[in-house]
Every structure is written in C-alpha cells, then in structure tokens.
A and B are shown apart, each in its own frame.
Chain A
Amino acid sequence: MGYVAVTAGEELIERAEQLFEKQRIDDDADDIGVDQIEGQLGRLTAQAMSEGGLYAPRLAALAVKQAQGDTVEAAFLLRAYRSTLERFDETTTVDPGEMIATRRVSPAFKDIPGGQILGATKDYTQRLLDFDLADGSPEDPTAEWELDDEGDPERLTNVTELLREEGLLHEPDEPAVDEPNDTTRESITHPPERDEVLQELARGETGAVTALGYSALRGYGQVHPTLAEVRVGRLPVRIEHPYTGAEVTVTHTEVTESEAVVPVYEKREDPQFAFGYGLTFGRNERKAIGMTILDASIQLDGDDEPAENAEFVLDTVDGTDSFGFIEHLKLPHYVTFQSILDRIRAIRERKGLSEQSRVETDERPADSAVAGTSDDD
C-alpha cells in the first residue's frame, strides 16, 4: 500500500488538538497531578510502562495524563520518548529468584516454603462499587495494624526450581547464546528464539495477551496450566560500576511474575511437566498469567490453534502495532479509495452492470441510491 500526503488547514488541525486538550479541563475539578496518577492509579501507569517497554513511573504518569487515561496511547508516548534516548548499557542478568516479593501465592501447592503471602489484593473479596470512595476522605485501613517485626525480606525459592530438582520438569539444554536478541533493535525472524518471544510478550498489549491466552483455555489450544506461583515484587536493576567493576544496584523495578506447569505425561515417555513463564513490568497479574499461557502454548509449536502459532501471536500482541494499524484507517484514504472505486467501476462497466444498476437506482428513492453505491464498496 502506498501513502499519499494530503493537506488541510494547519490552524484547523491545531483547533482540533486544542479541543482535545480542553476535554482534560472541561469542568471545575482540580487538575489531576502527575504525583496523584503515579501514586493512586498505579495500575494504569504500570500498564503503560509494561506495554511501552520502558520502566519510568513518573513519565508513565505524565503519559497517562497526556493521553487522558488511554493506556495504549500512553505506551506509545513512552516508546516515542525512548526512541530519542541513547542506551547506556544492558544490566547484568538478574535471576527472578532475587525478587523481593510483596505478594506470592501458589495455586498448585497449598503448603509452600515461605508461605502464601496474599499481599495487596482484592482477589478474595466481592467486587461491589464502594460509594464511600465517591466523596469520602481517604483513610489508611492498615493504620491500626500491629505488625510483628519479620526482619529482612526472605528470598523465596521458586516452586518450579524445586520441581526441577526432583526431575519433574524438563531439564533445558544448555543455552546456545549468552546474549539475548533484542527485538527493539532487530526484527524477529520466524521461528523466533525463546528470548524474543518473552521480550515481545512482556511488552505486549494487556488485552491482546489476555485474549489470546484465554483462547487457549476456551479450547482453541491444548494448554490449561496450573500456576505454580504468581508473584509481585521488586527486581534489582544492576550495572557494573565503571570504576570498581562491582555489580551495583541503581534501582528496582516492580514486576509481576507467573510460572505455570503444564502436564505433558501423555506426550513423552518420561512423564514430566512443561513450563510456561511470564514476567512483565508493574503490577499486572492478568497479563503475566496470559503471557504464561502463551509461552507454554508457543512451545507446542502448533499451526492449528492461534495461541500455539508464534508468528500469529507475536504479530498481534503488540499494542503500538495494532493501535497504529487499526487507527490509521481513520486517516484520509482518498487516493487509495478513489483507485478502488475506479477499478470497481471499470469492472462493472466491462460486465455491463453499471448501466443496469443505474436504471434500477434511478427508480428508487434518493437515500436508497446512496445505500446502493455503498454496497459497491
């Protein structure tokens, strides 16, 4: 498809943008601050960071504000910003087991070392509108908690790692390469490497990852995993100090991790579990679990089910790609559409349909004639 530039009044385009900006302040309410968005709408900023592939909480809050709450637009703004920046380096590789967990549950095992830590969640309570939030003053419901001093955070051993120790998980071959491919710099060629799959899923659009993962559960796939654990916590961001050469921590990223086991005893001589894995920036358990299902599905390398086809999944999960392609349809297509019209008219002319159609439409009321033309499109 080719693109042809169109012109319009620059002033009119500015007016449209001004009208968009006015919507943000179109009532008497106070301007919402970036601090408020970062502090109170953390799920939104997390989603923008995750889908933007850029961990920057404050700028994500700014992006959410600018996009008026449209997370995909906010992710786009973050990606646009990152494209203007140099890369300092890659971090040293961190083991997810180093996560300082604030929440960790295992649907697979009732008794897990370190215990089930519910953390901050409403998973086990009713989803009912809380009308007190509409105009109530915020109160800290944990203010009266009497906390035991639990000492320093424990490093919680991954459940799957222990399953592997017992030989219940497929032992991977030694990785062929130490340096992962970077899909932000090099396009994926199919079949993709596993590290490329994980990177693309990690920055996939939450709705798309959830929907495709859900498709596998709904029967369009073979994977119905049991989650070994779901964690939310902080992962260290480390570099080598340029003077000392020691690994040093710059900051931590809040992440959500999900691990799943998938029984494959019917498929192999040695009954074992296969793995699915999900890890993404911010608090987003829905996406991490969806990613886990897709990771496990893609490993089956099937052609019949969408979720098992890596090319299909990776071509459709990116929010910026899909947002751009879908929404570009709103932009002027006058030249391409004129070309299509000309072609269809020529075919109809050649087949003698145009004269016949004109006679028929002439006999109809005017509005039906318009509808008839539309059908030709």
Chain B
Amino acid sequence: MNPEGERAIESTERILMQSFGRGSTECMVDPHDRSDRFELIAACEGATLAQFANDVLDGDPPLSVRQEPRPQLLMQQVRDPVERRPFNLGEVLVTPAEVELEGTRGFAMVPGKGERAALSGAIVDAAVAADHEETPAIIAALEDVAARQREQRRRDWSQSKHTAVEFETMEGQE
C-alpha cells in the first residue's frame, strides 16, 4: 500500500479507538407487557407452555382458535451496510398461532416447527391478558425464562471475551 494509504489507516485506527462507544444490548423485560411476553413465550420451552395451557383449559373455558398453528416463513431482511438498502438474507421457519380465550385474544410465535408450543403459547398469552388465575405462576415462569436468557447471554459473552487477544506486530524483530 502507498504511504498515503498507510497514513489514512493509522489515522482511522485512532478515530476508531476514540469514537467507539459501548452499547448495551440488555433491557429489562416485563411479562405483563404484551410485547415482552411475546418474546418470553417465544423463548420458553414448549413443555412448560403446554403445561400452563392445560392448566388454563382445565375449567373448560370457551376457546376458539383464530389461527391454526402451522409452520410458516419469515423472510429475514437485513440492511446491507454498503448501499444501506435492505436485502433478503433468507427465510426463518416459525410457527404462529392465535386464539380467543373467554373473549380475550392471544398470539404467539415460536421458532421452528412447533405447533403444540405455538398454540399453547397463544393460550398462555391470552390467559395473562385476561388476568386468569394462573397468571402469577405464568409470570413467574416467564421471569425465569428472562433470567435464564440473560444469564446465558452474559455467560456466552464472558466466554467469548475470554478469547479476546491483542495481536502484536513483529517488525524489526529477528
């Protein structure tokens, strides 16, 4: 590379170090909030959701399935950093479902092919929205999911940072 290019890169390295800002990806989640609840249900184990759904349906409340749980596709769009326009990276398999439980709607979407988990998740969502008697137990379970997610994220990050390295150039060394 020519000297002009090298100077440019040195200068850019300085700017990089100065302008870098640490951004946290963490935020608090609240299972009472519908959007937060959606994310926690999506991350919850199917068996846990199924157990709560069974408990909610135990008293045989009126339930209608507004959207059958069926695997569907989401096209993941990413902003290309060159032209800053979106492109389609590829499709992601998800299973959505929607129910109406005692007049209250519930919606869930789980990753992958998970018909039972999606239907159970929609029932759980509606149950919390309707303040069903199972709500405290559901909230506690979803808070556990949030805690485990956070812990896993931090552990993964700590593990990756454990491999952080500083490369040293060996110019002038024999």
Q: Is B55 an interface residue (CB 8 A)?
A: no
Instruction: Give min CB distance, B153 to chain A, whole Å.
Output: 6
The answer to whether A248 and B75 have CB atoms under 8 Å apart is: no
**In the assembled complex, which residues on chain B have CB atoms less than 8 Å from the CB atom of A90?**
74-75, 77, 88
Instruction: Give min CB distance, A342 to chain B, whole Å.
Output: 46
Q: Is B63 an interface residue (CB 8 A)?
A: no
**In the assembled complex, which residues on chain B have CB atoms less than 8 Å from the CB atom of A172?**
82-84
Q: Which of B2, B15, B76, B162 contacts A91 (CB 8 A)?
A: B76
The docked-state distance in angstroms from the alpha carbon of A352 to that of B43 is 77
- Nearest opposing residue in chain A for B11, CB measure: A166
Count contacts between A and B, CB distance < 8 Å. Answer: 289
Question: Contacts A118-B164, A118-B165, A151-B154; is A235 near B159 (CB within 8 Å)?
Answer: no
The answer to whether A85 and B16 have CB atoms under 8 Å apart is: no
- Nearest opposing residue in chain B for A78, CB measure: B93
Chain A residues 154-176 with CB under 8 Å of chain B are: 154-155, 157-163, 165-166, 168, 172-173, 175
Question: Contacts A116-B166, A152-B24; is A59 near B82 (CB within 8 Å)?
Answer: no
Q: Is B35 an interface residue (CB 8 A)?
A: yes
Q: Which among A104-112, A301-309, A326-334 touches the partner chain?
A: A104-112
- Nearest opposing residue in chain A for B96, CB measure: A88
The answer to whether B74 and A91 have CB atoms under 8 Å apart is: yes
Q: Is A135 an interface residue (CB 8 A)?
A: no
Q: Which of A58, A108, A154 contacts B24 (CB 8 A)?
A: A154
Chain B residues 92-109 with CB under 8 Å of chain A are: 92-94, 96, 98, 105, 107, 109
Chain B residues 1-59 with CB under 8 Å of chain A are: 1-2, 4-5, 8-9, 11-13, 15-17, 19-26, 34-35, 38-39, 42-43
Q: Which of A166, A173, A196, A250 contacts B15 (CB 8 A)?
A: A166
Interface of B is mostly: mixed
The answer to whether A91 and B160 have CB atoms under 8 Å apart is: no
**In the assembled complex, which residues on chain B have CB atoms less than 8 Å from the CB atom of A179?**
86
Instruction: Give min CB distance, A319 to chain B, whole Å.
Output: 14
Q: Is B64 an interface residue (CB 8 A)?
A: no
The docked-state distance in angstroms from the alpha carbon of A271 to that of B165 is 32
The number of chain A residues with a CB under 8 A from chain B is 103
Q: Which of A145, A166, A250 contacts B94 (CB 8 A)?
A: A250
Q: Which of B1, B109, B157, B158 contacts A250 (CB 8 A)?
A: B109
Interface 0/1 of A219-243, CB less than 8 Å to B: 0000000000000000101010111
Q: Which of B12, B23, B105 contacts A163 (CB 8 A)?
A: B12
**In the assembled complex, which residues on chain A have CB atoms less than 8 Å from the CB atom of B12?**
109, 162-163, 166, 168
The answer to whether A277 and B113 have CB atoms under 8 Å apart is: no
The answer to whether B74 and A87 have CB atoms under 8 Å apart is: yes
The answer to whether A202 and B89 have CB atoms under 8 Å apart is: yes
Q: Which of A114, A152, A173 has the most CB atoms of chain B within a 10 A radius of its CB?
A: A152
The answer to whether A96 and B16 have CB atoms under 8 Å apart is: no
- Nearest opposing residue in chain A for B72, CB measure: A88
The answer to whether B90 and A152 have CB atoms under 8 Å apart is: no
Question: Contacts A89-B74, A91-B74, A150-B157; is A55 near B165 (CB within 8 Å)?
Answer: no
**In the assembled complex, which residues on chain A have CB atoms less than 8 Å from the CB atom of B71?**
85
The docked-state distance in angstroms from the alpha carbon of A255 to that of B77 is 13
Instruction: Give min CB distance, B27 to chain A, whole Å.
Output: 9
The answer to whether A112 and B16 have CB atoms under 8 Å apart is: yes
The docked-state distance in angstroms from the alpha carbon of A179 to that of B88 is 10
The answer to whether A100 and B88 have CB atoms under 8 Å apart is: no
Question: Which 8 A-B pairs rank lowest in CB-CB distance, beginning with the nearest?
Answer: A113-B20, A175-B85, A155-B23, A251-B111, A195-B87, A56-B93, A152-B26, A88-B72
